[in-house]
Amino acid sequence: MSRENATSIDVARRAGVSQSAVSRVFTPGASASRQTVEKVRKAANELGYRPNSLARAMVSGKSRIIGLVVAYLQNQFYPEALEKLSNELQERGYHVLVFLAARTVGNVDDVLDEILDYQVDGIIAASVALSSDLSNRCRIAGVPTVMFNRSQDDLAISAVTSDNYAGGRKVAEFLIAGGHERIAFMAGWEGASTQRDREAGFRDGLQDAGVPLFARGVGNFEFDQARNATRQMFSGDRDTWPEALFVANDHMAFAVMDTLRAELGLNIPDDVSIVGYDDVPAAAWPSYDLTTVRQRTNQMIRATVDILLSEIENEGAAPCQVRIDGPLVLRGSALTAKGK
């Protein structure tokens, strides 16, 4: 019983007007007399007519589709961002075509081609590093692109991040103020700008206070790898263990805390202070109660969408780099100056 869709021609015939009149009635900025509008609307309703977005896209050159490249959704930060991005864009009349990319270089390349094939109006690369080669391709294709939660040296591509450097610095200052001496760092994936900037800020903060970095592990932003790195970091004599640890994101911080408590019987924060980065929902759950640097997701999303749409809608818009500062949220996983 699958009846075919009605076209604007069917509606025109039924309403006794021209096909272009129908088009005008369904085109926001167009002009049509009250009479025509009524006749057309009526006929359209009777036939269940709705304009075909694809045909519209072809002729207008605007698909109202945004390609979203995203790498992996394990980290709670991304589903949240995806949800908000999609909502924000939906409200503005755009839709999101999702492309999942493995964290390998070649893959992002293929995916980018597929995206461009769909004539997307813009691209958001969330947590994916774009090589300068790729960003060139986007520019050549004339497709505005914004990187979300990643940045790069090429200033020709817009990027929105939190102020990762400042965040890392805040953590260093906080831990030092808390009276800690053996302070360590657990790194994420080294290819990520977030990782690099957080670590740079953290290290500079320590250095300014004359405190050396006591230990360093690498968890690659993965839960299991963070567990292993933790085991390694806490494997020797007890006096080789750090007493405070900045973990490059919350997702890994949960792994660290679980490992420390379940396997070594340590108390957090009495034996070890832990600080994360992101402030994902679970950071506020009582089991973790994690002190962490908040990413202001709403503001970051808003900025991303604003920039992208302005680049789409006015040709001339210059690319820009936005860094949004976020506060250190104090919870129970790290000793404070007073607490000590």
Partner DNA sequence: ATGAAAGCGCTAACAA
Partner DNA sequence: TTGTTAGCGCTTTCAT
| By CB under 8 A, residue 90 contacts its own copies | yes
Q: Using the rule CB under 8 A, give the single segment among 29-37, 39-47, 139-147, 201-209 that binds its own copies.
A: 139-147
- Among the residue ranges 98-106, 145-153, 179-187, 305-313, the one whose residues contact its own copies (CB under 8 A): 98-106
Within 225-264, the residues that bind its own copies by CB under 8 A are 254-255, 257-259, 261-263
How many chain residues interact with its own copies (CB under 8 A)?
60
Residue nearer to its own copies on the CB measure, 33 or 104: 104
Q: 1 contacts which partner out of its own copies, DNA, none, CB within 5 to 8 A by kind?
A: its own copies
237: left (phi over 0), alpha (psi -120 to 50) or beta: beta
CA dihedral sign of residues 101, 294, 154, 312 = positive
Query: Footprint of its own copies on residues 58-77 (CB under 8 A)?
Result: 58, 63, 65, 68, 72-74, 76
| Whole-number Cα distances in Å, 280 to 160, 169, 199, 285 | 18, 20, 19, 10
- Closer CB to its own copies, 55 or 337, in the complex: 55
Q: Is 80 helix (H, G, I), strand (E, B) or coil?
A: helix
Write down the least CB distance from residue 196 to its own copies, Å: 26
Residue 80 partner contact from DNA, its own copies, none using kind-dependent CB cut-offs of 5 to 8 Å: its own copies
Return d(Cα 300, Cα 272) in angstroms, integer: 32
Binding segment (CB under 8 A) for its own copies, from list 30-38, 95-103, 179-187, 231-239:
95-103
Contacts of 233 (CB under 8 A, 6+ apart): 184, 186, 215, 217, 241, 242, 245
Q: Tokens for 201, please give them.
A: 């800020």
Q: Which is nearer to DNA, 17 or 147 (CB)?
A: 17
Task: Tell me if 86 contacts its own copies by CB under 8 A.
Answer: yes
- The torsion of the CA quartet 218, 220, 223, 225, rounded to 10 degrees, works out to -50
Under rule CB under 8 A, residue 45 binds its own copies: no
Assigned token pair, 315 = 């040709």
The residues binding DNA (CB under 7 A) are 4-5, 7-9, 17-21, 23-24, 26-27, 30-33, 35-36, 49-52, 55-56, 58-60
DSSP-derived pairing of the beta strands 321-324 and 145-148: unpaired
The alpha carbons of the chain give a radius of gyration, in whole angstroms, of: 26
Tell me: does residue 53 bind its own copies (CB under 8 A): yes
Reduced to 3 states, what is the DSSP secondary structure of residue 284? helix
Asked if 55 interacts with its own copies (CB under 8 A), we say yes
**Backbone phi and psi for residue 271, each to the nearest 5 degrees, phi listed first:** -85, -40
Rounded Cα distance, 117 and 101, in Å: 16
Chain positions contacting its own copies, by CB under 8 A:
1-5, 48, 50-55, 57-58, 63, 65, 68, 72-74, 76, 78-80, 82-83, 86-87, 90, 95-100, 113-114, 116-119, 139-142, 223, 254-255, 257-259, 261-263, 281-282, 285-288
